[in-house]
Amino acid sequence: MTAGSLTAVIAVLLIGVLTCVAPALTRPTLQFGVRVPPQRTDAPVIRRERRAYYWRATAIAACCSAAALVLAGSGSARLTAVVLPAELAAGLSCFWVARERIAAAKHAEGWYAGLRQAVAADTSWRTEPPRFPVAWLIPPVAVLVATAVVGAVRYPDLPSRLAVGFTASGTPDRWVRKSAWGAFSKVAGQLWVTSLWTGLLLIIYRSRPDTDASEGADSTRRYRIFLATYSRALLALVTLVNVGLLLAALRDWQVYRLSGIGAALPVLPAAAGLVILVAAAVRTGQAGSRLPDPAARPGPVPHVNRDDDRFWKGGLIYINRDDPAIMVGSRFGIGWTPNLGNPRACLLYGGILAAIIALTVVRAVAGA
């Protein structure tokens, strides 16, 4: 098993786990991308579809993981990576089947008939905004600087050809000509990962919280805990990804060479970071939906959250031209998603995509 195929196996396992647990992370009033009123979260159709989804998703995850492990054993990282899109497509199909059936029942039975639908904003979110965890940026930046310094020290002594790919036995199998880009590509990767996630988190801290009209200020309190926990877990992941890139860079610069499973050492910190992220997600749930209830719950409220299904294409993509938000909470699973009806969000994500393409092209040219 090479480091590349091990990475693909970890990705398949992770996507399998996330697909299985996603409904449990989502708010009870958002079932498979369908907005439902609090009174209907335990409807028979929802219970039935959740049970069916769990069975299907578990079977898909088990089959794909087994296939990935068998293919990884053959040593082909590319063949192993093919399993990933197949797993994603199968997971999405399960999601859409459940979504269609719940949405059909919702419309047929008129779940929102007679309910007062509203949107809510807690002004304390703006007058007492949450603080970005700046101290958590110190570790990833420190690892980045350390990598750059080691690289600068090693660069004059590096040979004219640099090994950047290794087989299971630790023997180099991919080379690039010695150049600043070739030698410092891992540092560029660290810079990219750190700046991308810092920028996205800064936008998320300025975005709106998921304030629920039926839960009131308590939903904002939960969102604050969720944001604090999840953003720290994300920055811990960025730190561990940078550590992995540091280890890969040290191998490229011939500081060490490991064979066998040891060759996959640079992948392990990122895998540990993903485990931390999943643990944080399971603890808080999307927008803090899994956090314990407050001791004193408010009495019955006159409103339910507005039925906004029409702005969610396929239950996953948010497009609302009248909404000035750039990022909003994801509808399924955990995290955030852009409002593609907002030109600024399109520019932001277009820029990220363009940067990824540019980095890939530069890497290919440097390695040619």
Partner 1 sequence: MLLTVEPDGPVPIYQQIRDRIVEAIASGQQLAGSALPSTRQLAMDLGVNFHTVNKSYDILRQEGLVRINRKSGAVIRRDAGSGPPDTSWTRDWTGRLVTLLAEAAAQGMGPEQIAEHCRAAVTAFAFPRAAEDTRQESRP
Cβ of residue 120: shortest distance to partner 1, in angstroms?
5
Cβ of residue 122: shortest distance to partner 1, in angstroms?
5
Cβ of residue 29: shortest distance to partner 1, in angstroms?
16
- Type of residue found at 222: R
Q: Tell me if 303 contacts partner 1 by CB under 8 A.
A: yes
Site string for partner 1, 107-126 (x = CB under 8 A): ---------xxxxxxxxxxx
Q: Which is nearer to partner 1, 154 or 306 (CB)?
A: 306
Q: Tell me if 340 contacts partner 1 by CB under 8 A.
A: no
Q: Which is nearer to partner 1, 254 or 320 (CB)?
A: 320
Q: What whole-number distance in Å separates Cα of residue 340 and Cα of residue 357? A: 20
Q: Tell me if 217 contacts partner 1 by CB under 8 A.
A: yes
Q: Tell me if 320 contacts partner 1 by CB under 8 A.
A: yes
Cβ of residue 134: shortest distance to partner 1, in angstroms?
21
Q: Tell me if 203 contacts partner 1 by CB under 8 A.
A: no
Q: What whole-number distance in Å separates Cα of residue 334 and Cα of residue 204? A: 13
Going by C-alpha positions, the residue among 196, 240, 205, 203 that lies closest to residue 226 is 205
Q: Tell me if 201 contacts partner 1 by CB under 8 A.
A: no
Going by C-alpha positions, the residue among 51, 1, 24, 39 that lies closest to residue 303 is 39
DSSP state of 293: P
CB-CB contact of 249 with 186 (8 Å):
yes
Going by C-alpha positions, the residue among 29, 196, 39 that lies closest to residue 115 is 39
Cβ of residue 235: shortest distance to partner 1, in angstroms?
24
Q: Tell me if 213 contacts partner 1 by CB under 8 A.
A: yes
Going by C-alpha positions, the residue among 222, 354, 226, 348 that lies closest to residue 282 is 226
CB-CB contact of 142 with 135 (8 Å):
no
- Residue given tokens 């090693």 in the structure block: 154
Binding site for partner 1 (CB under 8 A): 116-127, 207-209, 211, 213, 216-217, 303, 306, 320, 322-325
